[in-house]
Amino acid sequence: MASPALRPIQKVLCANRGEIAIRVFRACNELGIRTVAIYSDEDRTHEHRHKADEAYLVGRGKRPVEAYLGIDEILDVAERAGVDAIHPGYGFLSENADFAEACERRGIRFIGPRSPVVRTMGDKVAAKELARKVGVPVVPGVTLEGDDARVLEQARAFFAQHGGPILVKAAHGGGGRGMRVVREAAELESALASARSEAKSAFGSSAVFLEKFLERVRHIEVQLLGDLHGNLVHLHERDCSVQRRHQKVIEIAPAPNLSQQLRTAICDAAVRLAREAGYSSAGTAEFLVSGDSFYFIECNARLQVEHTVTEQVTGVDLVQSQIRIAEGYRLDSPQVGIPSQDAIVPRGFAVQLRVTTEDPANNFMPDAGIITAWRAATGFGIRLDGSNGYTMARISPYYDSMLVKVIAYAPTFEGAVMKGQRALREFRIRGVKTNLPFLENVLRHPAFQSGQTYTRFIDETPELFK
């Protein structure tokens, strides 16, 4: 498929840490692409540093999270190391349109959608507007504008019209932060104030909007992949309903217990939306499902933590596809290998379990320290994506508490659940507390086993904590 538009990538920097940096380096390795890691002082012994061909210290003297947020410094390292492209992973700068733009300006490819798309999708209000435009249902809501008094006035009017509960959401939010459920009108003022200040400090913008809070919903999302020539496909859906505080804990592909009609309607809606946005690279459209209705909530213009389950059931390596697309390859080229939408047929079921260093008995308080004993699961149908998995590894209190992702794959959902349980039992981790026993309790629960979970399942099921 030689074409003048092709621009091969020889060297990639991953502007991230931990498991996703390692995931990206593995993908590059298999494509014969050289890899560059960045690491903070806090991460000097971290495994991701050693999984790359070259590694550079960044953020000297800064707070540990800031190391992975310093756009200019990261781009300086990239230039010095002579990289052609940067993979942002997830979190950190992955949805930062200024970063995507800065990469483009310096002639370094950003492995993700084009910067204007990153910008639109980073704004949940703009993304909902786009959805409305192409006839995709959205949760009823209102954007709040103006000063504090004006914002409160609009919020009161929305509450009076729709009643509670409602949800205050950060327009530029992510990771479940900047969200407040309001059940009584009297709580509005303080919920708005705390959501806005959290949004300001976490995302640099205090812009918030309101949505009707839907009770007993499932979170269903669609994996999208587009090339730079206008071709776009979906890679079917994932069920990410098992959440804690609006953050995903377990993800499944495809969604069990979902009618074919609903599945098709949701995937079609996702593609319509992505086409309208001019989407390329990998991304996700997220929906809430209530009975036979579905509502778009947001798009993530990046690779997601749970991309692995889609890879297992479709056989498509999403990271390598992103790289090939950034080189200019078309979806139907042998390098990407997706001749048509119909060619993507999910087979079997995959369940991803996020093993964290959190203590379920103590309100999931993150634990840190040295791993004194480590034995991981292995065997047929088990994939582990992660790092830190060795004795004497140091778990930092400054970063996300995810230790390893366990992905169980089997021909049936029941089989994948049994395999997941078996894998969890094989783990032995000492020195830091983990959520392993909690995950086992979820997998053993009849509601999980019959695909009946909803987003508040963990919060409303006390027996999971026994």
Active centre residues (catalytic) = 248
266 binds ligand ADP (CB under 6 A): no
354 binds ligand ADP (CB under 6 A): no
84 binds ligand ADP (CB under 6 A): no
Nearer to ligand ADP, 142 or 418 (CB): 142
> Nearest Cα to 230, choosing from 176, 271, 195?
271
| Per-position b or e across 271-283, b if 16+ CB within 10 A of its CB | bbbbeebebbbbb
Which stretch, 54-62, 207-215, 262-270, 415-423, contacts ligand ADP (CB under 6 A)? 207-215
According to CB under 6 A, which residues from 126 to 145 bind ligand ADP?
139
Nearer to ligand ADP, 229 or 246 (CB): 246
283 binds ligand ADP (CB under 6 A): no
199 binds ligand ADP (CB under 6 A): no
179-241-243-384 Cα dihedral, nearest 10 degrees:
-130
Beta carbon of residue 129, minimum distance to ligand ADP (angstroms, whole number): 15
Nearer to ligand ADP, 44 or 245 (CB): 245
297 binds ligand ADP (CB under 6 A): yes
- Count of Cβ atoms closer than 10 Å to residue 363 Cβ: 8
Q: State how far the Cα of 113 lies from the Cα of 170, in Å rounded to an integer.
A: 22
Which stretch, 15-23, 214-222, 312-320, 330-338, contacts ligand ADP (CB under 6 A)? 214-222
- Residue from 176, 230, 315, 397 in contact with ligand ADP (CB under 6 A): 176
211 binds ligand ADP (CB under 6 A): yes
Q: State how far the Cα of 289 lies from the Cα of 298, in Å rounded to an integer.
A: 13
- Residue from 13, 24, 455, 458 in contact with ligand ADP (CB under 6 A): 455
Q: Are the CB atoms for 138 and 295 separated by under 8 Å? A: yes
- Residue from 58, 103, 144, 167 in contact with ligand ADP (CB under 6 A): 167
- Residue from 243, 304, 308, 401 in contact with ligand ADP (CB under 6 A): 243
182 binds ligand ADP (CB under 6 A): no
Sequence-separated (6 or more) residues with CB below 8 Å from residue 300: 95, 121, 174, 283, 284, 286
- Residue from 47, 298, 311, 385 in contact with ligand ADP (CB under 6 A): 298
Amino acid at 10: Q
- Phi/psi of residue 33, each to 5°? -100, 135
213 binds ligand ADP (CB under 6 A): yes
- Residue from 46, 109, 219, 330 in contact with ligand ADP (CB under 6 A): 219
Which stretch, 70-78, 206-214, 343-351, 371-379, contacts ligand ADP (CB under 6 A)? 206-214
Beta carbon of residue 117, minimum distance to ligand ADP (angstroms, whole number): 17
Distance of CA 79 to the CA centre of its chain: 28
| Contacts of 457-463 spanning 24+ positions with Cβ under 8 A | 457/241, 457/242, 457/243, 458/242, 458/243, 458/244, 458/249, 459/244
Which stretch, 18-26, 174-182, 320-328, 364-372, contacts ligand ADP (CB under 6 A)? 174-182
Q: Is 250 helix (H, G, I), strand (E, B) or coil?
A: strand
- Residue from 217, 319, 408, 432 in contact with ligand ADP (CB under 6 A): 217
What SS3 string covers 27-63?
HHHHCCCEEEEEECHHHCCCHHHHCCCEEEECCCCCC
According to CB under 6 A, which residues from 435 to 454 bind ligand ADP?
none
- Residue from 251, 286, 311, 400 in contact with ligand ADP (CB under 6 A): 286
Q: State how far the Cα of 46 lies from the Cα of 130, in Å rounded to an integer.
A: 41
85 binds ligand ADP (CB under 6 A): no
Nearer to ligand ADP, 166 or 338 (CB): 166
Beta carbon of residue 212, minimum distance to ligand ADP (angstroms, whole number): 6
Beta carbon of residue 288, minimum distance to ligand ADP (angstroms, whole number): 6
Beta carbon of residue 240, minimum distance to ligand ADP (angstroms, whole number): 7
Amino acid at 68: Y
91 binds ligand ADP (CB under 6 A): no
The H-or-E segment that residue 55 falls in is strand 54-57
DSSP strand pairing (402-410 vs 349-356) = antiparallel
400 binds ligand ADP (CB under 6 A): no
Beta carbon of residue 123, minimum distance to ligand ADP (angstroms, whole number): 11
Q: What is the DSSP string of 323-356?
A: HHHHHT--TTSTTT----GGG----SEEEEEEEE
Q: State how far the Cα of 253 lies from the Cα of 220, in Å rounded to an integer.
A: 10
If you search the block for the tokens 């960044």, which residue do you land on? 58
Q: Is 263 exposed, middle or buried (0-12, 13-18, 19+ CB in 10 A)?
A: middle
Cα three-residue angle 353-302-180, rounded to 5 degrees = 70
Q: Are the CB atoms for 235 and 310 separated by under 8 Å? A: yes
Binding-residue total with ligand ADP (CB under 6 A): 19
What residues make contact with ligand ADP under the rule CB under 6 A? 139, 167, 173-176, 211-214, 217, 219, 243, 246, 286, 288, 297-298, 455
